[in-house]
Amino acid sequence: MSAARVALLSFHTCPLAPTGEGKAGGMNVYVREVSRNLGRAGVPVDLFTRSHAGHCQGVTNLEDNVRLVHLEGGPETAAPNELYPYLESFLEGLVAHARQEAVRYRLVHSHYWLSGWIGQRLSSRWRVPHVVTFHTLGDVKMQAKAGERESDQRGSVERELASGAHLIIASSPHEEDALVHLYDADRGRIEVVPCGVDLSIFKPLDIGEARKRLGLNGERVVLYVGRIEAIKGVDLLLKSAAIMDGKDSLKVLVVGGDATRGGEVRRLKGLAEELGIGQVMEFVGMVDQSLLPLYYNAADVCVVPSYYESFGLVALEALACGTPVVASRVGGLPTVVQHARTGYLQSWRCPEPFADSLEVILGSKVLRNSMSREARKRAEGMGWEMVAEETSRLYDSL
């Protein structure tokens, strides 16, 4: 195959941003890991993102074959929903950069709708195929009814991409169906490639050792990991913990968000007090991803109570560590969690069924051990190198 480079666009957020707080989460991990693994597989990648605090303009090598290029793209502190007016100038900056370096790209792969807007125009100018991965879809987020609002621009750009991109990579069959039914996309141009996990980091460790390192004693440990925002549904976890039998011997760890400043974390702490579980809760704040395996391994069960997840990397990371998962049956989560085998999926957003599932898992060591074995088995074969291999095969098919 030709060694011409792939232009990968992650306009609004840097793949190296620390994850677990604000808007930096699964997509950052995805873009970072897929590009690294493409590079390792011999597919040269230039990854373009906008300049931000701590990273001025310039080119950094992420791996052999993988370069990260920061270009100017609006005020450094702007939120994603303020960035639409800066797409045009980022596009022009990118075209100028490629011209100056005399690099030709074989295709453009955009991540999220903002990058998609740029990618669609680059694809026409350079006459190369355009691949889009949406990560989340505006209409689906609104349908999830977590109180979020999306701009009209987002809807119209997503529709333009659904009909105009040469290939859409969806991370679950749910996303594929949403694209077909809500966006009128042609199923023939969608390929489902589930997300991956770094199996060399996320793996079973000695549970006693993990607990010791985290200062945990004999408690039954329930874990939440993720950004802290309304769509993650952390309220439901708190309400479930509050009605569980023997809740006083529980420890509920909430990893992610800003434990000191974040408004949503403050609200959740208040809710925990109201529910009488202030002592049970520990808001840990954001943890570097390299330390997360300790948390997953120290936990008896991981909870993903989201209103919507296009995939749900946290669930897969927990399974890779051999930790059963209780999750809401939404979006991509049923692709990750096998009901009654590696955890439980709940269709109702009510505390009772979540509390029941947690009690069942916490109440039986035999069940936990069996789910744990099945969980790791499920995650094996879902390494990022597989995702990159499949992505590279799709690039070649264009």
> How far lies 78's CA from each of 21, 29, 48, 97, in Å?
16, 21, 17, 23
Tokens of 245: 């039998």
- Compare residues 24 and 355 and give the one whose CB is closer to ligand UDP: 24
Report whether 193 contacts 390 (CB < 8 A): yes
* One-letter amino acid of 326: V
**Nearest position to ligand UDP, beta carbon:** 25
- Compare residues 141 and 247 and give the one whose CB is closer to ligand UDP: 141
- Compare residues 119 and 331 and give the one whose CB is closer to ligand UDP: 331
Decide: is 262 part of the binding site for ligand UDP (CB under 6 A): no
* Count of residues that bind ligand UDP according to CB under 6 A: 20
Decide: is 325 part of the binding site for ligand UDP (CB under 6 A): no
Give the other-Cβ count within 10 Å of 203's Cβ: 17
User: What is the C-alpha separation between 71 and 91, in angstroms, rounded?
Assistant: 10
What residues numbered 240-259 form the site for ligand UDP, per CB under 6 A? 255-256
Decide: is 382 part of the binding site for ligand UDP (CB under 6 A): no
Alpha carbons within 13 angstroms on the beta-carbon side of residue 161 total 34
What is the phi/psi pair of residue 89, to 5°? -70, -30
User: What is the C-alpha separation between 314 and 196, in angstroms, rounded?
Assistant: 11
Residue selected from 39, 262, 293, 312 as contacting ligand UDP according to rule CB under 6 A: 312
Instruction: Tell me which stretch binds ligand UDP (CB under 6 A): 23-31, 81-89, 166-174, 367-375.
Output: 23-31
Decide: is 233 part of the binding site for ligand UDP (CB under 6 A): no
CB of 289 to ligand UDP, least distance (A): 4
Decide: is 13 part of the binding site for ligand UDP (CB under 6 A): no
User: What is the C-alpha separation between 230 and 115, in angstroms, rounded?
Assistant: 24
What residues numbered 67-86 form the site for ligand UDP, per CB under 6 A? none
Strands 45-50 and 66-71: parallel
What residues numbered 279-298 form the site for ligand UDP, per CB under 6 A? 286-287, 289, 292
Q: Could you list the residues that contact ligand UDP (CB under 6 A)?
A: 19-20, 25-27, 29, 225-227, 255-256, 286-287, 289, 292, 311-314, 317
